[in-house]
A and B are shown apart, each in its own frame.
Chain A
Amino acid sequence: MLRNALRKDLLLNARHLWGIVPWFLWVAYAMTEPEAGRITAVGAAFIGSLMATTIGAREDKLRTTATLASLPVSRGTLVEARYLVAYIVGAATYLIVVMAAGLPWSVQRAAELCELKTLLLTLTLASAAIAVLMPVVIRFGLLGVLVFLGVFQLLGVGLMVAFEFFGSRSSVGVFSAIERGIAALHAGLEQPVVILETLAIVGLAIWLSFRLSVFLAKRRDL
Protein backbone atom coordinates (compact mmCIF):
# COMPACT_ATOMS: atom_id res chain seq x y z
CA MET A 1 0.00 0.00 0.00
CA LEU A 2 2.87 2.37 0.79
CA ARG A 3 4.22 1.71 -2.71
CA ASN A 4 0.83 2.63 -4.21
CA ALA A 5 0.64 5.78 -2.10
CA LEU A 6 4.16 6.80 -3.15
CA ARG A 7 3.38 6.10 -6.79
CA LYS A 8 0.19 8.10 -6.55
CA ASP A 9 2.00 11.11 -5.03
CA LEU A 10 4.72 11.08 -7.67
CA LEU A 11 2.43 10.35 -10.63
CA LEU A 12 -0.43 12.72 -9.88
CA ASN A 13 1.64 15.57 -8.46
CA ALA A 14 4.46 15.55 -10.99
CA ARG A 15 3.30 18.88 -12.37
CA HIS A 16 3.52 20.45 -8.91
CA LEU A 17 7.09 19.19 -8.57
CA TRP A 18 8.03 20.74 -11.92
CA GLY A 19 7.84 24.01 -9.98
CA ILE A 20 11.40 23.30 -8.83
CA VAL A 21 12.74 23.53 -12.40
CA PRO A 22 13.42 27.32 -12.37
CA TRP A 23 15.72 26.72 -9.40
CA PHE A 24 18.00 24.71 -11.69
CA LEU A 25 18.63 27.80 -13.84
CA TRP A 26 20.22 29.27 -10.74
CA VAL A 27 22.04 25.98 -10.16
CA ALA A 28 23.48 26.11 -13.70
CA TYR A 29 24.72 29.65 -13.05
CA ALA A 30 26.01 28.82 -9.55
CA MET A 31 28.29 26.17 -11.01
CA THR A 32 30.47 29.02 -12.30
CA GLU A 33 30.95 30.47 -8.80
CA PRO A 34 33.88 28.89 -6.95
CA GLU A 35 32.32 29.05 -3.45
CA ALA A 36 28.70 28.35 -4.40
CA GLY A 37 28.68 24.57 -4.94
CA ARG A 38 27.87 23.38 -1.44
CA ILE A 39 25.31 26.04 -0.62
CA THR A 40 23.59 25.40 -3.97
CA ALA A 41 23.39 21.65 -3.33
CA VAL A 42 22.08 22.11 0.21
CA GLY A 43 19.63 24.78 -0.95
CA ALA A 44 18.36 22.62 -3.81
CA ALA A 45 17.62 19.70 -1.51
CA PHE A 46 15.99 22.05 1.01
CA ILE A 47 13.75 23.61 -1.63
CA GLY A 48 12.99 20.24 -3.22
CA SER A 49 11.80 18.71 0.04
CA LEU A 50 9.89 21.85 0.96
CA MET A 51 8.11 21.77 -2.42
CA ALA A 52 7.24 18.09 -1.99
CA THR A 53 5.96 18.79 1.51
CA THR A 54 3.33 21.12 0.07
CA ILE A 55 1.75 18.39 -2.09
CA GLY A 56 -0.88 18.10 0.63
CA ALA A 57 -1.77 21.75 0.19
CA ARG A 58 -2.24 21.27 -3.55
CA GLU A 59 -4.44 18.22 -2.98
CA ASP A 60 -6.44 20.17 -0.44
CA LYS A 61 -7.01 22.89 -3.01
CA LEU A 62 -8.12 20.33 -5.61
CA ARG A 63 -10.47 18.74 -3.04
CA THR A 64 -8.82 15.38 -3.57
CA THR A 65 -8.16 14.85 0.14
CA ALA A 66 -11.59 13.24 0.61
CA THR A 67 -11.11 11.11 -2.51
CA LEU A 68 -7.84 9.83 -1.04
CA ALA A 69 -9.46 9.16 2.32
CA SER A 70 -12.12 7.04 0.58
CA LEU A 71 -9.46 4.68 -0.85
CA PRO A 72 -8.71 1.40 0.91
CA VAL A 73 -5.54 2.71 2.50
CA SER A 74 -5.00 4.07 5.99
CA ARG A 75 -4.43 7.76 6.52
CA GLY A 76 -1.22 6.78 8.32
CA THR A 77 0.12 5.17 5.13
CA LEU A 78 -0.79 8.25 3.08
CA VAL A 79 1.12 10.43 5.56
CA GLU A 80 4.08 8.04 5.50
CA ALA A 81 4.19 8.36 1.71
CA ARG A 82 4.21 12.16 2.03
CA TYR A 83 7.34 12.05 4.22
CA LEU A 84 9.04 9.62 1.88
CA VAL A 85 8.21 11.71 -1.18
CA ALA A 86 9.65 14.79 0.52
CA TYR A 87 12.94 12.94 1.13
CA ILE A 88 12.95 11.38 -2.36
CA VAL A 89 12.47 14.76 -4.05
CA GLY A 90 15.08 16.36 -1.76
CA ALA A 91 17.57 13.62 -2.63
CA ALA A 92 16.76 13.89 -6.35
CA THR A 93 17.34 17.65 -6.43
CA TYR A 94 20.62 17.20 -4.55
CA LEU A 95 21.67 14.58 -7.08
CA ILE A 96 20.85 16.93 -9.97
CA VAL A 97 23.16 19.58 -8.47
CA VAL A 98 25.91 16.97 -8.11
CA MET A 99 25.43 16.04 -11.76
CA ALA A 100 25.42 19.74 -12.70
CA ALA A 101 28.99 19.86 -11.41
CA GLY A 102 29.82 18.02 -14.64
CA LEU A 103 28.57 20.89 -16.82
CA PRO A 104 31.28 22.25 -19.17
CA TRP A 105 31.38 25.66 -17.46
CA SER A 106 31.31 24.25 -13.91
CA VAL A 107 34.18 24.97 -11.52
CA GLN A 108 32.72 22.61 -8.88
CA ARG A 109 33.95 19.14 -8.07
CA ALA A 110 31.23 16.50 -7.66
CA ALA A 111 33.29 14.68 -5.03
CA GLU A 112 33.34 17.80 -2.84
CA LEU A 113 29.55 18.03 -2.97
CA CYS A 114 29.29 14.40 -1.85
CA GLU A 115 31.31 14.85 1.35
CA LEU A 116 29.64 13.21 4.33
CA LYS A 117 29.43 16.45 6.34
CA THR A 118 27.67 18.25 3.48
CA LEU A 119 25.26 15.36 3.01
CA LEU A 120 24.52 15.35 6.76
CA LEU A 121 23.99 19.10 6.84
CA THR A 122 21.59 18.77 3.90
CA LEU A 123 19.75 15.98 5.68
CA THR A 124 19.49 18.10 8.83
CA LEU A 125 18.16 21.22 7.10
CA ALA A 126 15.75 19.34 4.82
CA SER A 127 14.50 17.30 7.78
CA ALA A 128 13.95 20.46 9.80
CA ALA A 129 11.85 21.93 6.99
CA ILE A 130 9.83 18.73 6.57
CA ALA A 131 9.38 18.19 10.31
CA VAL A 132 8.05 21.69 10.91
CA LEU A 133 5.92 22.17 7.80
CA MET A 134 4.39 18.72 7.26
CA PRO A 135 2.02 18.63 10.28
CA VAL A 136 0.78 22.12 9.34
CA VAL A 137 0.08 21.01 5.75
CA ILE A 138 -1.56 17.78 6.86
CA ARG A 139 -3.88 19.59 9.27
CA PHE A 140 -4.63 22.84 7.49
CA GLY A 141 -3.77 22.23 3.82
CA LEU A 142 -3.17 25.23 1.60
CA LEU A 143 -4.40 27.68 4.23
CA GLY A 144 -1.87 26.20 6.63
CA VAL A 145 1.01 26.77 4.22
CA LEU A 146 -0.04 30.36 3.54
CA VAL A 147 -0.47 31.15 7.24
CA PHE A 148 2.79 29.41 8.06
CA LEU A 149 4.75 31.37 5.45
CA GLY A 150 2.94 34.58 6.38
CA VAL A 151 3.80 34.14 10.06
CA PHE A 152 7.45 33.53 9.17
CA GLN A 153 7.51 36.65 7.00
CA LEU A 154 5.98 38.72 9.77
CA LEU A 155 8.36 37.22 12.30
CA GLY A 156 11.30 38.10 10.06
CA VAL A 157 10.08 41.65 9.50
CA GLY A 158 9.34 42.01 13.21
CA LEU A 159 12.83 40.83 14.13
CA MET A 160 14.46 43.21 11.68
CA VAL A 161 12.41 46.14 12.96
CA ALA A 162 13.08 45.21 16.58
CA PHE A 163 16.82 44.94 16.07
CA GLU A 164 17.03 48.08 13.93
CA PHE A 165 15.19 50.29 16.39
CA PHE A 166 15.58 48.73 19.80
CA GLY A 167 18.51 46.34 19.61
CA SER A 168 22.16 46.93 19.97
CA ARG A 169 22.93 44.88 16.85
CA SER A 170 21.60 45.33 13.36
CA SER A 171 19.27 42.79 11.75
CA VAL A 172 22.13 41.74 9.53
CA GLY A 173 23.66 40.35 12.71
CA VAL A 174 20.72 37.96 13.19
CA PHE A 175 21.07 36.51 9.74
CA SER A 176 24.84 36.26 9.98
CA ALA A 177 24.37 34.47 13.32
CA ILE A 178 22.16 31.90 11.55
CA GLU A 179 24.74 31.59 8.79
CA ARG A 180 27.54 31.15 11.36
CA GLY A 181 25.46 28.51 13.16
CA ILE A 182 24.97 26.51 9.96
CA ALA A 183 28.67 26.85 9.09
CA ALA A 184 29.63 25.69 12.61
CA LEU A 185 27.33 22.69 12.31
CA HIS A 186 28.83 21.89 8.90
CA ALA A 187 32.35 22.02 10.33
CA GLY A 188 31.34 20.01 13.42
CA LEU A 189 29.84 17.25 11.32
CA GLU A 190 33.35 15.83 10.88
CA GLN A 191 33.36 14.63 14.48
CA PRO A 192 31.68 11.27 15.19
CA VAL A 193 29.99 12.55 18.38
CA VAL A 194 28.42 15.51 16.58
CA ILE A 195 27.33 13.23 13.74
CA LEU A 196 25.63 10.83 16.16
CA GLU A 197 24.02 13.66 18.12
CA THR A 198 22.78 15.32 14.94
CA LEU A 199 21.37 12.08 13.53
CA ALA A 200 19.64 11.37 16.85
CA ILE A 201 18.06 14.82 16.96
CA VAL A 202 17.02 14.69 13.29
CA GLY A 203 15.56 11.19 13.77
CA LEU A 204 13.65 12.24 16.86
CA ALA A 205 12.34 15.42 15.21
CA ILE A 206 11.10 13.53 12.16
CA TRP A 207 9.59 10.77 14.26
CA LEU A 208 7.73 13.29 16.45
CA SER A 209 6.61 15.23 13.38
CA PHE A 210 5.40 12.01 11.71
CA ARG A 211 3.46 10.87 14.78
CA LEU A 212 1.88 14.31 15.07
CA SER A 213 0.97 14.33 11.36
CA VAL A 214 -0.64 10.88 11.57
CA PHE A 215 -2.56 11.95 14.67
CA LEU A 216 -3.77 15.12 12.92
CA ALA A 217 -4.63 13.28 9.69
CA LYS A 218 -6.71 10.71 11.56
CA ARG A 219 -8.59 13.38 13.48
CA ARG A 220 -9.28 15.57 10.48
CA ASP A 221 -12.89 15.71 9.29
CA LEU A 222 -13.06 15.87 5.50
Chain B
Amino acid sequence: MSGAHAIELRGVRKSYPGFMLKDVSFTLPSGVIGGLIGPNGSGKTTVIKLIMNLVRREAGEIRVFGLDNQSAEIEVKSRIGFVYDVPGYWDDQSLDSQRRALGAFYPRWSDETFRRLAGEFGLPLDKKYKALSHGAKTKFALAMALSHGADLLIMDEPTAGLDPIFRRDLLKRMSALLQEEGKTILFSTHITSDLERVADVITFIRAGEVVFSLTRDELLDGWAIVRGDDRVVRELDPRLVMGVRRRPFGVEALVSDGDAVRRAVGGRAVVDRVTLDDVMVLMSGEVRHAA
Protein backbone atom coordinates (compact mmCIF):
# COMPACT_ATOMS: atom_id res chain seq x y z
CA MET B 1 0.00 0.00 0.00
CA SER B 2 1.29 3.42 -0.88
CA GLY B 3 1.88 6.28 1.54
CA ALA B 4 0.68 8.77 -1.09
CA HIS B 5 -2.87 7.75 -0.38
CA ALA B 6 -4.89 9.37 2.36
CA ILE B 7 -7.33 6.45 2.48
CA GLU B 8 -6.89 2.89 1.24
CA LEU B 9 -9.46 0.14 1.62
CA ARG B 10 -8.65 -3.39 0.47
CA GLY B 11 -11.20 -6.20 0.53
CA VAL B 12 -13.14 -4.75 3.44
CA ARG B 13 -16.12 -6.75 4.57
CA LYS B 14 -18.87 -6.07 7.08
CA SER B 15 -22.23 -7.72 7.45
CA TYR B 16 -25.43 -6.86 9.25
CA PRO B 17 -28.68 -8.81 9.16
CA GLY B 18 -29.99 -8.22 5.64
CA PHE B 19 -26.98 -6.24 4.42
CA MET B 20 -23.40 -7.01 3.50
CA LEU B 21 -20.51 -4.82 2.45
CA LYS B 22 -18.62 -7.06 0.05
CA ASP B 23 -14.87 -6.76 -0.41
CA VAL B 24 -14.87 -3.01 -0.68
CA SER B 25 -11.66 -1.63 -2.17
CA PHE B 26 -10.83 1.91 -3.24
CA THR B 27 -8.18 4.52 -2.64
CA LEU B 28 -8.30 8.25 -2.13
CA PRO B 29 -5.07 10.08 -2.96
CA SER B 30 -3.84 12.76 -0.59
CA GLY B 31 -4.87 16.33 -1.39
CA VAL B 32 -8.09 15.59 -3.25
CA ILE B 33 -11.80 15.77 -2.54
CA GLY B 34 -13.48 12.38 -2.77
CA GLY B 35 -17.21 11.86 -2.98
CA LEU B 36 -19.09 8.71 -1.99
CA ILE B 37 -22.40 8.30 -3.77
CA GLY B 38 -24.97 5.57 -3.96
CA PRO B 39 -28.63 4.88 -3.26
CA ASN B 40 -30.05 4.80 0.26
CA GLY B 41 -28.83 1.76 2.16
CA SER B 42 -26.00 1.08 -0.28
CA GLY B 43 -23.35 1.18 2.45
CA LYS B 44 -21.88 4.71 2.27
CA THR B 45 -22.27 5.39 5.98
CA THR B 46 -20.94 1.93 6.84
CA VAL B 47 -17.82 2.60 4.77
CA ILE B 48 -17.29 5.90 6.62
CA LYS B 49 -17.87 4.21 9.99
CA LEU B 50 -15.39 1.49 9.06
CA ILE B 51 -12.73 4.09 8.21
CA MET B 52 -13.41 5.77 11.57
CA ASN B 53 -13.34 2.36 13.29
CA LEU B 54 -16.79 3.03 14.71
CA VAL B 55 -17.79 -0.39 13.44
CA ARG B 56 -15.48 -3.39 13.32
CA ARG B 57 -14.49 -4.79 9.96
CA GLU B 58 -14.80 -8.54 9.48
CA ALA B 59 -12.10 -8.79 6.84
CA GLY B 60 -9.77 -6.62 4.81
CA GLU B 61 -7.46 -3.74 5.48
CA ILE B 62 -8.03 -0.04 6.04
CA ARG B 63 -5.14 2.42 6.03
CA VAL B 64 -5.24 6.13 6.64
CA PHE B 65 -2.07 7.96 5.61
CA GLY B 66 -0.44 4.53 5.42
CA LEU B 67 -1.39 3.63 9.02
CA ASP B 68 -3.71 0.83 10.01
CA ASN B 69 -6.88 2.45 11.34
CA GLN B 70 -7.12 -0.03 14.23
CA SER B 71 -3.56 -0.56 15.44
CA ALA B 72 -2.69 3.15 15.02
CA GLU B 73 -6.19 4.33 15.95
CA ILE B 74 -5.22 7.28 18.13
CA GLU B 75 -2.71 8.72 15.67
CA VAL B 76 -5.11 8.19 12.78
CA LYS B 77 -8.00 9.88 14.57
CA SER B 78 -5.91 12.84 15.65
CA ARG B 79 -5.42 13.56 11.94
CA ILE B 80 -9.10 13.25 11.02
CA GLY B 81 -11.85 15.83 11.35
CA PHE B 82 -15.14 13.97 11.41
CA VAL B 83 -18.68 15.21 10.80
CA TYR B 84 -21.39 12.65 11.44
CA ASP B 85 -24.67 12.70 9.49
CA VAL B 86 -26.58 13.33 12.73
CA PRO B 87 -24.06 15.16 14.92
CA GLY B 88 -24.22 13.93 18.53
CA TYR B 89 -23.26 16.38 21.26
CA TRP B 90 -24.36 17.08 24.81
CA ASP B 91 -27.79 18.73 24.55
CA ASP B 92 -27.72 20.52 27.88
CA GLN B 93 -24.22 21.94 27.58
CA SER B 94 -23.10 25.14 25.93
CA LEU B 95 -21.03 25.02 22.77
CA ASP B 96 -18.14 26.53 24.68
CA SER B 97 -18.20 23.77 27.35
CA GLN B 98 -18.07 21.19 24.62
CA ARG B 99 -15.20 23.03 22.96
CA ARG B 100 -13.28 22.96 26.27
CA ALA B 101 -13.99 19.30 26.98
CA LEU B 102 -13.46 17.84 23.51
CA GLY B 103 -10.77 20.14 22.12
CA ALA B 104 -8.40 18.92 24.85
CA PHE B 105 -8.17 15.51 23.16
CA TYR B 106 -6.49 16.94 20.05
CA PRO B 107 -2.78 17.76 20.19
CA ARG B 108 -3.13 20.45 17.50
CA TRP B 109 -6.38 21.98 18.73
CA SER B 110 -6.67 25.74 18.10
CA ASP B 111 -9.11 27.82 20.14
CA GLU B 112 -8.37 30.73 17.83
CA THR B 113 -9.48 28.77 14.75
CA PHE B 114 -12.57 27.53 16.55
CA ARG B 115 -13.61 31.01 17.64
CA ARG B 116 -13.01 32.39 14.16
CA LEU B 117 -15.11 29.64 12.56
CA ALA B 118 -17.84 29.98 15.19
CA GLY B 119 -17.97 33.69 14.37
CA GLU B 120 -18.13 33.05 10.62
CA PHE B 121 -20.85 30.40 11.08
CA GLY B 122 -22.83 32.63 13.47
CA LEU B 123 -22.66 30.09 16.31
CA PRO B 124 -23.64 31.44 19.76
CA LEU B 125 -21.00 29.83 22.00
CA ASP B 126 -22.91 30.47 25.22
CA LYS B 127 -26.06 28.73 23.95
CA LYS B 128 -26.91 25.16 24.73
CA TYR B 129 -26.55 22.65 21.93
CA LYS B 130 -30.24 21.71 22.06
CA ALA B 131 -31.19 25.32 21.23
CA LEU B 132 -29.52 25.07 17.81
CA SER B 133 -31.26 24.28 14.53
CA HIS B 134 -30.19 21.20 12.57
CA GLY B 135 -28.13 23.37 10.24
CA ALA B 136 -26.40 25.13 13.15
CA LYS B 137 -25.64 21.73 14.74
CA THR B 138 -23.91 20.67 11.53
CA LYS B 139 -22.01 23.99 11.49
CA PHE B 140 -20.88 23.35 15.07
CA ALA B 141 -19.71 19.84 14.16
CA LEU B 142 -17.89 21.33 11.21
CA ALA B 143 -16.22 24.01 13.35
CA MET B 144 -15.06 21.28 15.77
CA ALA B 145 -13.74 19.18 12.89
CA LEU B 146 -11.84 22.08 11.33
CA SER B 147 -10.23 23.39 14.52
CA HIS B 148 -7.60 20.75 15.22
CA GLY B 149 -5.47 20.94 12.11
CA ALA B 150 -6.84 17.71 10.65
CA ASP B 151 -5.16 16.50 7.47
CA LEU B 152 -8.24 14.54 6.44
CA LEU B 153 -11.84 15.63 6.72
CA ILE B 154 -14.47 12.88 6.64
CA MET B 155 -18.09 13.94 6.43
CA ASP B 156 -21.20 11.83 6.20
CA GLU B 157 -23.95 13.71 4.34
CA PRO B 158 -22.66 17.10 5.53
CA THR B 159 -24.84 19.16 3.22
CA ALA B 160 -28.12 17.45 4.11
CA GLY B 161 -30.37 19.84 5.99
CA LEU B 162 -28.29 22.91 5.18
CA ASP B 163 -29.75 25.92 3.44
CA PRO B 164 -28.49 26.49 -0.13
CA ILE B 165 -26.41 29.52 0.89
CA PHE B 166 -24.46 27.68 3.57
CA ARG B 167 -24.22 24.60 1.37
CA ARG B 168 -22.51 26.67 -1.29
CA ASP B 169 -20.30 28.24 1.38
CA LEU B 170 -19.35 24.81 2.72
CA LEU B 171 -18.40 23.59 -0.73
CA LYS B 172 -16.28 26.73 -1.24
CA ARG B 173 -14.57 26.06 2.08
CA MET B 174 -13.88 22.49 1.06
CA SER B 175 -12.23 23.67 -2.16
CA ALA B 176 -10.23 26.29 -0.22
CA LEU B 177 -9.03 23.69 2.30
CA LEU B 178 -7.81 21.62 -0.57
CA GLN B 179 -6.14 24.41 -2.51
CA GLU B 180 -4.69 26.46 0.34
CA GLU B 181 -3.87 23.83 2.93
CA GLY B 182 -3.52 20.64 0.90
CA LYS B 183 -6.11 18.78 3.00
CA THR B 184 -7.89 15.66 1.85
CA ILE B 185 -11.67 15.42 2.07
CA LEU B 186 -14.00 12.45 1.81
CA PHE B 187 -17.72 13.05 1.95
CA SER B 188 -20.87 11.15 1.18
CA THR B 189 -23.90 12.80 -0.31
CA HIS B 190 -27.08 12.32 -2.26
CA ILE B 191 -26.77 15.76 -3.80
CA THR B 192 -24.99 15.05 -7.05
CA SER B 193 -24.62 18.74 -7.95
CA ASP B 194 -22.39 19.13 -4.86
CA LEU B 195 -20.15 16.37 -6.11
CA GLU B 196 -20.02 17.79 -9.65
CA ARG B 197 -18.99 21.11 -8.18
CA VAL B 198 -16.11 19.99 -5.96
CA ALA B 199 -15.25 16.27 -6.07
CA ASP B 200 -12.06 15.13 -7.78
CA VAL B 201 -12.71 11.43 -7.25
CA ILE B 202 -16.12 9.81 -7.21
CA THR B 203 -16.76 6.40 -5.68
CA PHE B 204 -20.10 4.79 -6.39
CA ILE B 205 -21.42 2.16 -4.01
CA ARG B 206 -24.42 -0.02 -4.73
CA ALA B 207 -25.79 -2.84 -2.56
CA GLY B 208 -22.59 -2.99 -0.52
CA GLU B 209 -20.21 -3.10 -3.49
CA VAL B 210 -18.00 -0.47 -5.03
CA VAL B 211 -19.15 -0.24 -8.65
CA PHE B 212 -16.51 2.30 -9.66
CA SER B 213 -14.04 4.74 -8.21
CA LEU B 214 -13.01 7.23 -10.89
CA THR B 215 -11.82 10.79 -11.21
CA ARG B 216 -14.55 13.27 -12.06
CA ASP B 217 -12.99 13.86 -15.49
CA GLU B 218 -12.75 10.15 -16.23
CA LEU B 219 -16.40 9.82 -15.38
CA LEU B 220 -17.94 12.94 -16.88
CA ASP B 221 -15.73 13.11 -19.98
CA GLY B 222 -15.23 9.40 -20.56
CA TRP B 223 -18.69 8.01 -19.89
CA ALA B 224 -21.73 8.89 -21.99
CA ILE B 225 -25.42 8.40 -22.26
CA VAL B 226 -26.83 6.90 -25.46
CA ARG B 227 -30.39 7.72 -26.47
CA GLY B 228 -31.87 5.73 -29.26
CA ASP B 229 -34.07 2.79 -30.05
CA ASP B 230 -33.84 -0.57 -28.41
CA ARG B 231 -32.07 -2.19 -31.38
CA VAL B 232 -29.12 0.23 -31.30
CA VAL B 233 -28.63 -0.28 -27.57
CA ARG B 234 -28.75 -4.08 -27.96
CA GLU B 235 -25.92 -3.87 -30.50
CA LEU B 236 -23.61 -2.11 -28.03
CA ASP B 237 -20.69 -3.99 -26.49
CA PRO B 238 -22.31 -5.30 -23.27
CA ARG B 239 -19.05 -4.74 -21.35
CA LEU B 240 -19.50 -1.00 -21.90
CA VAL B 241 -23.16 -0.82 -20.89
CA MET B 242 -23.43 0.11 -17.21
CA GLY B 243 -27.17 0.66 -17.01
CA VAL B 244 -30.27 0.90 -19.17
CA ARG B 245 -33.48 2.85 -18.74
CA ARG B 246 -36.50 2.47 -20.97
CA ARG B 247 -38.33 5.70 -21.81
CA PRO B 248 -41.62 6.30 -23.68
CA PHE B 249 -39.75 7.15 -26.90
CA GLY B 250 -36.79 4.79 -26.77
CA VAL B 251 -34.01 3.62 -24.54
CA GLU B 252 -31.25 5.36 -22.58
CA ALA B 253 -28.04 3.50 -21.89
CA LEU B 254 -25.15 4.55 -19.68
CA VAL B 255 -21.85 3.54 -21.27
CA SER B 256 -18.34 3.63 -19.84
CA ASP B 257 -16.57 4.60 -23.07
CA GLY B 258 -18.32 7.47 -24.86
CA ASP B 259 -15.84 7.73 -27.73
CA ALA B 260 -15.99 4.03 -28.60
CA VAL B 261 -19.78 4.10 -28.53
CA ARG B 262 -19.91 7.26 -30.68
CA ARG B 263 -17.86 5.49 -33.31
CA ALA B 264 -19.99 2.35 -33.09
CA VAL B 265 -23.43 3.93 -33.37
CA GLY B 266 -22.57 6.67 -35.88
CA GLY B 267 -25.67 8.77 -36.48
CA ARG B 268 -28.14 6.11 -35.38
CA ALA B 269 -28.39 7.37 -31.81
CA VAL B 270 -27.67 10.47 -29.77
CA VAL B 271 -24.58 10.20 -27.54
CA ASP B 272 -24.58 12.88 -24.83
CA ARG B 273 -22.27 13.85 -22.01
CA VAL B 274 -23.28 12.19 -18.81
CA THR B 275 -24.27 13.90 -15.56
CA LEU B 276 -23.91 12.41 -12.08
CA ASP B 277 -27.69 12.37 -11.87
CA ASP B 278 -27.79 10.09 -14.92
CA VAL B 279 -25.17 7.85 -13.33
CA MET B 280 -27.08 7.69 -10.02
CA VAL B 281 -30.40 6.90 -11.67
CA LEU B 282 -29.13 4.47 -14.28
CA MET B 283 -26.83 2.60 -11.92
CA SER B 284 -29.08 2.47 -8.91
CA GLY B 285 -31.37 -0.11 -10.38
CA GLU B 286 -34.18 2.41 -10.39
CA VAL B 287 -35.00 1.63 -14.00
CA ARG B 288 -38.27 3.18 -15.10
CA HIS B 289 -40.01 1.25 -17.81
CA ALA B 290 -42.22 2.90 -20.37
CA ALA B 291 -45.92 2.57 -19.76
The yes or no answer to B77 lying at the interface (CB within 8 A) is yes
Q: 27 A-B pairs, CB-CB below 8 angstroms?
A: A1-B74, A4-B105, A7-B101, A7-B104, A8-B102, A8-B105, A11-B97, A12-B97, A12-B98, A15-B92, A59-B90, A64-B90, A65-B88, A66-B54, A66-B84, A66-B88, A67-B88, A69-B52, A69-B54, A70-B84, A71-B77, A71-B105, A72-B75, A72-B105, A72-B106, A221-B54, A221-B56
Q: Which residue of B lies closest to A60 (CB)?
A: B88
- Highest count of chain B CB atoms <10 Å: which of A4, A59, A67, A71: A67
Task: List residues of B (91-118) whose CB comes within 8 Å of A's CBs.
Answer: 91-93, 97-98, 100-102, 104-107
The yes or no answer to B264 lying at the interface (CB within 8 A) is no
| Min distance, Cβ B78 to any Cβ of chain A, angstroms | 4
The yes or no answer to A193 lying at the interface (CB within 8 A) is no
Flag if B54 contacts A222 (CB, 8 Å): yes
Given contacts A12-B93, A64-B90, A70-B84, contact A1 B73 (CB under 8 A): no
CA–CA, A116 and B193, complex, Å: 70
Flag if B74 contacts A74 (CB, 8 Å): yes
Given contacts A11-B100, A72-B74, A72-B77, contact A1 B105 (CB under 8 A): yes
Q: Which residue of B lies closest to A12 (CB)?
A: B90
Q: Which residue of A lies closest to B49 (CB)?
A: A222
Given contacts A12-B93, A72-B74, contact A67 B105 (CB under 8 A): no
With an 8 Å Cβ cutoff, the count of chain A residues facing the other chain is 24
The yes or no answer to B86 lying at the interface (CB within 8 A) is yes
The yes or no answer to A73 lying at the interface (CB within 8 A) is yes
Q: Which residue of A lies closest to B52 (CB)?
A: A70
Given contacts A7-B104, A8-B101, contact A70 B90 (CB under 8 A): no
Flag if A4 contacts B104 (CB, 8 Å): yes
The yes or no answer to B66 lying at the interface (CB within 8 A) is no
Partner of A12, one of B56, B73, B101: B101
Flag if B88 contacts A63 (CB, 8 Å): yes
Flag if B101 contacts A67 (CB, 8 Å): no
Given contacts A72-B75, A72-B77, A221-B54, contact A11 B101 (CB under 8 A): yes
> Which residues on the B side are within 8 Å of A222 (C-beta)?
49, 54-55
Residue positions of A touching B, CB distance < 8 A:
1, 4, 7-8, 11-13, 15, 59, 62-67, 69-74, 219, 221-222
A-B complex: 6 closest residue pairs judged by Cβ atoms: A63-B88, A72-B78, A72-B77, A221-B55, A8-B101, A222-B54
The yes or no answer to B87 lying at the interface (CB within 8 A) is yes
The yes or no answer to B19 lying at the interface (CB within 8 A) is no
Task: List residues of B (68-83) whose CB comes within 8 Å of A's CBs.
Answer: 73-78, 80, 82
With A8-B102, A62-B88 known, 18 other A-B pairs at CB within 8 A are A7-B101, A8-B101, A8-B105, A11-B100, A12-B101, A15-B92, A15-B93, A62-B90, A66-B88, A69-B52, A70-B77, A72-B74, A72-B105, A72-B106, A73-B77, A221-B54, A221-B55, A222-B49
| Min distance, Cβ A219 to any Cβ of chain B, angstroms | 7
The yes or no answer to B89 lying at the interface (CB within 8 A) is yes
| Min distance, Cβ A85 to any Cβ of chain B, angstroms | 13
Flag if B54 contacts A70 (CB, 8 Å): yes
> Which residues on the B side are within 8 Å of A4 (C-beta)?
104-105
> Which residues on the A side are within 8 Å of B104 (C-beta)?
4, 7-8
CA–CA, A4 and B52, complex, Å: 20
> Which residues on the A side are within 8 Å of B49 (C-beta)?
221-222
